Structure 1
Amino acid sequence: MLPLITRTELLSLMEAGTVVVVDTMPVAYFDKEHLPEARNIPGFPYEQAAEFTDRLAASVLPDKAAAIVVYCANTPCRNSEFVGRRLLELGYTNVRKYREGIEDWVSGGLPTHCSS
């Protein structure tokens, strides 16, 4: 299991500009709504999470030492776990998971962005 980060901790890092946030939802969901400045590496369907991560990680996350936080929809969603674990296997050294995901972010009244 990936180390976890809370909404408050993530917000602080985002405000400081010291974290790269990765949305692991499918592209259509990412385009509809995501955390500010988030990048997208889809983790669903689960069977393709490693393939998507392998294909996109180098361009989306060029710095393997960067502080990275992955998230998906909510606590039961497993996308972020699949993508985060694969990032560790690819040599990324500072990956954490915002387990509660975008549902918690929105319920906390925090802003989101859309790509369209």
Structure 2
Amino acid sequence: MRGRLATDVPAGAGGQDRGMTASIARDELQTAMAAGGVTVVDALPAVPYGQRHLPGALNLIAEDAGERAGDVLPDKAAAIVTYSSNAMCGRGEALAARLAELGYVDVRVYRDGIEDWVGAGLPVE
């Protein structure tokens, strides 16, 4: 199932926390992942991604998005959630912004990132 994520801010309308890309909370992300309704993308470089990432997460960094996004994320209408380490790390936000520039229409950021996920005792790969 692919579809729009329910948030307070529609995709492309600006974000909640920083006035940029819309965010998604952990519980909503868990629900979307369980339903198979979202593509999750780790915005960290290959080494930290290889050490741990959210279940099923793909890997793409903002610096490579122009070249690789079409291969990694072929459906520009798919619901996509990017994340990085934590709310202080800007990589998830940067990737989401870059994807929006490239024409992806339903992109959110899990700003609390993998540290929040692991802190809640949730599984990683």
TM over 0.5: yes
Measured after TM superposition, the shift of residue 81 of structure 1 is 1.1
Measured after TM superposition, the shift of residue 7 of structure 1 is 0.3
Letter in 1 for 2:117: W
Q: Which residue of 2 aligns with 1:30?
A: 49
Q: Higher RCO, 1 or 2 (CA under 8 Å, sep at least 6)?
A: 1
Q: Which residue of 1 aligns with 2:95?
A: 83
2:33 is the alignment partner of 1:14: yes
Letter in 2 for 1:7: R
Alignment of 1:44-59 (within 5 A): 49=63, 52-59=64-71
In structure 2, the gaps of 5 or more residues are 1-19
2:105 is the alignment partner of 1:93: yes
Task: State which of 81, 104, 114 in structure 1 corresponds to 2:116.
Answer: 104
Measured after TM superposition, the shift of residue 107 of structure 1 is 0.5
In structure 1, the gaps of 5 or more residues are 44-48
Identical amino acids, percent of aligned pairs: 49
RMSD: 0.6
Q: Which residue of 2 aligns with 1:62?
A: 74
Where has structure 1 moved over 4 Å in runs of 4 or more? none
Measured after TM superposition, the shift of residue 56 of structure 1 is 1.3
Task: State which of 19, 22, 26 in structure 2 corresponds to 1:3.
Answer: 22
Query: For each residue in 1:60-94, what CA deviation from the matched residue of structure 2 results, as whole angstroms up to 9, or x when unmatched?
Result: 10000000000000000000111110100100000
Structure 2 distance, partners of 1:54, 1:42, is 10
**SS of structure 1 residue aligned to 2:31:** helix
Structure 2 distance, partners of 1:31, 1:77, is 18
Letter in 2 for 1:65: A
| TM-score, normalised via structure 1 length | 0.90
| TM-score, normalised via structure 2 length | 0.83
Measured after TM superposition, the shift of residue 42 of structure 1 is 1.9
